Structure 1
Amino acid sequence: MTRRKLSDEEKALWKRVADRTTALKERETFDPNTFAPQPKNSEAKPKPDYLKLNQTFPPKPEPRKTSFDLVPSLPDRLNSASVQMDKKTFGKMKRGKLKPEGRIDLHGMTLDRAHGVLVKFILSAHQSGKRLVLVITGKGKNRDEGGPIPVRHGVLRHQVPQWLSAPPLSAVVMQVSQAHLSHGGGGAYYVYLRRVR
């Protein structure tokens, strides 16, 4: 294969390119020896432990246990609440040994109606000097249809403790606790009232 000669046009183009460029200085040119592996000398650094062969590695840390349920369950919240009443009486109440002096059943009521009935019942029970009453809410129906927003299981069961801890009932309620199985278990609450003054 023979090389062809450049035309006058190509020579002129090359001359324009060459005139616009600047030559590199000798020390700026690439030296392949700068990237060549360096010979090992006797003072080489020892390999770190993690690079040695047959080295046993520490066990992998356990993955973090994450929980996305930020609100504890209702029984956990009630059980973790501090005891405001006499501990001996509280123990009897939790074991179902105390008989409630009054009871109200909120089954089948709407939230609006149940709130009004509950407030009236608790205030009248307090005025009549009762100390322990039973509020039956039921466990609720599972109505979650799998939508993007979960539906709470047992709306009344979750709402009643909040109503009891808010005014006007918070002034007369001393303790709220989940009822013993003999009085309804997870679908009922013991409400221990303060003394009338």
Structure 2
Amino acid sequence: MSDEDEHALFLQAIGDVRRLDAPAEAPPKPKPRAGAGMRERDEQAALSEFKQVMSQTILDPGDVSSFRRDEVSTRVFSRLKRGEFAVQDELDLHGLRLEAAQALLREFLRQVSAEGLGCVRIIHGKGRNSDGVPVIKNFVDQHLRHRRDVLAFHSAPLNQGGTGAVVVLLKRR
């Protein structure tokens, strides 16, 4: 049987056909949601600044970590130093490698800021297992100084971790 015969037989078998219009074009893909580009740029700037400052200001294991923005009164800062604020959440970084600690700290601060928490504790350890320099402690200290949502922080009271942790006051949304 030839191709023409097969084609004729096929047309006879299916009967009358109606050609369909070309399908409509698919709707355009939705535009991606706006990301938190400004926050990510701020964090990158803080990290690069940390690397730059790290060579200048280095905290030793027993050094107190302390910072206060001008908008925080000395009375409030004194209360923070004494541990009079209720800690609403906590992050434990000690024993981690720097890269993992950096990622966890950023995510933790993003999360507690979104939740509107006002006071958190970050345990960074004293750095006794580091080669002389408490790397995570210094990173936490410098990173917190450069975040706009951090109002103040101070090494925790002895019963909350002492110089191996900081208590942080955050801006509430």
1:90 to 77, 89, 98: 77
2:160 to 183, 188, 195: 183
More relative contact order, 1 or 2 (CA 8 Å, 6+ apart) = 2
SS at match of 2:66: helix
In structure 1, distance between residues paired with 2:118 and 2:69: 18
CA contact 2:64–2:154 (8 Å) conserved in 1: no
- Indicate the structure with greater helix content: 2
Q: TM-score with structure 1 length normalisation?
A: 0.52
In structure 2, distance between residues paired with 1:195 and 1:172: 8
Query: Who wins on radius of gyration, i.e. which is larger?
Result: 1
Q: TM-score with structure 2 length normalisation?
A: 0.58
Identity %: 29
Gaps of 5+ in 2: 1-55
Cα distance, 1:96–1:125 mapped onto 2, change above 3 Å: same
In structure 1, distance between residues paired with 2:65 and 2:122: 18
Note the alpha carbon deviations across 1:29-63, whole angstroms, 9 max, x for none.
Answer: xxxxxxxxxxxxxxxxxxxxxxxxxxxxxxxxxxx
1:172 to 145, 149, 154: 149
Residue number in structure 2 paired with 1:115: 102
Question: Alignment RMSD, CA only?
Answer: 2.3
Note the alpha carbon deviations across 1:104-158, whole angstroms, 9 max, x for none.
Answer: 00022111111111011111111111111000011122554xxxxxx41x21111
Residue number in structure 1 paired with 2:120: 133
Q: What's the offset of the Cα at 1:98?
A: 1.6
In structure 1, distance between residues paired with 2:129 and 2:72: 34
Note the alpha carbon deviations across 1:2-53, whole angstroms, 9 max, x for none.
Answer: xxxxxxxxxxxxxxxxxxxxxxxxxxxxxxxxxxxxxxxxxxxxxxxxxxxx
Gaps of 5+ in 1: 1-69, 145-150
Residue number in structure 1 paired with 2:171: 194
The one-letter code matched in structure 2 to 1:122 is L
